[in-house]
Amino acid sequence: MNMLYTQLGRSGLSVSALCLGTMNFGPHTEEADAHKIMDQAHEAGLNFFDTANAYGGNDRRGWTEEIIGRWIAQGGGRRERTVLATKVYGNMTDWPNDSKLSALNIRRALDASLKRLQTDHIDLYQFHHVDRDTPWDEIWQAVDVAIQQGKILYAGSSNFAGWHIASAQEAAARRPVTGLVSEQSIYNLMERSVEREVIPAAQHYGLGLLPWSPLHGGLLGGVLQKQHDGVRRVEGRAAEALDQHHDAIAAFEAFAAGLGHAPGDVALAWLLHQPAVTAPIIGPRTASQLTAGLRALEISLDEAALATLDKIFPGPKTAPEDYAW
């Protein structure tokens, strides 16, 4: 399979059209299996890996970065061939200043991530959430220092509203510095809220969109057929969402079957056809799930197919037309 590559937003950085999410590494995927998945990703040409300092669970925050770090330490070009992205914001301890985006926490959290990941720099350092208590001038000053020290190359955001992106970029322009090159948001056929304001802001400021939860917690991965086959049980919020959207999900699974593809592959392929998207984030627990995710790269959806998917899962209009004239 020939991997597709694209630019990360307006930057000159080339990344694979799928991004390997690592949140399952540790809590759900054993370290040896995680290492195999990362090696398999490289073999497929996938060069873009995403993690976060808080991944690993409440009792073992940092665990996922440590697993990746031990993989990197094996050498063999693993670090050199990887565009490595991690995040900062979440609570690492109960002490003050061990969370959010103060200059102090950015400095400490970055050094801790570098140590766990066993590398001297992060390619894409992302703000995992907007910090309403820290001014952007302080954040960008801390980022400037880290860039000058060679510890990070690019900055990105995650879970930002459209006006947060605008605030960040306008503050960056005043310095002037590059600012954000990417935004990581939940985005899939069932959850299209970002089309209202986040995507227009990202496109205006030249940010690449990195969708997380591309299968909406598995509800777009053939959940009804899996229930029928007895290979999956849906509980809690997922069950409520399934009940609410049962007819649309059933129509989607039937449409995917008519195309001759698995529902999850079609859902990923739909994201790859969206102009704002740089790379959906896939989070495989197993090597077979990674193989399944790569199949989406081979699917081409024509205008009629895209129109049908829009009818099954209609999205919002761009603001303000979505709610006003």
Check 55, 125, 187, 205 and give the catalytic one.
55
- Does the pLDDT of residue 1 top 60, yes or no? no
Q: Cα–Cα distance between 148 and 189 in angstroms, integer?
A: 40
Give which of 146, 151, 274 is closest to 210, Cα–Cα: 274
Give which of 87, 66, 3, 76 is closest to 39, Cα–Cα: 76
Q: Cα–Cα distance between 67 and 117 in angstroms, integer?
A: 8
Give yes or no: 205 in active site.
no
- Does the pLDDT of residue 234 top 90, yes or no? no
Domains of the chain: 5-312 (3.20.20.100)
Q: Cα–Cα distance between 264 and 8 in angstroms, integer?
A: 24
Q: Note the pLDDT tens digit of each residue in 267-307.
A: 999 999 999 999 999 999 999 999 999 999 999 999 999 99
* Reported confidence tier of residue 230, pLDDT bands at 50, 70, 90: confident
140: its two tokens:
């960008």
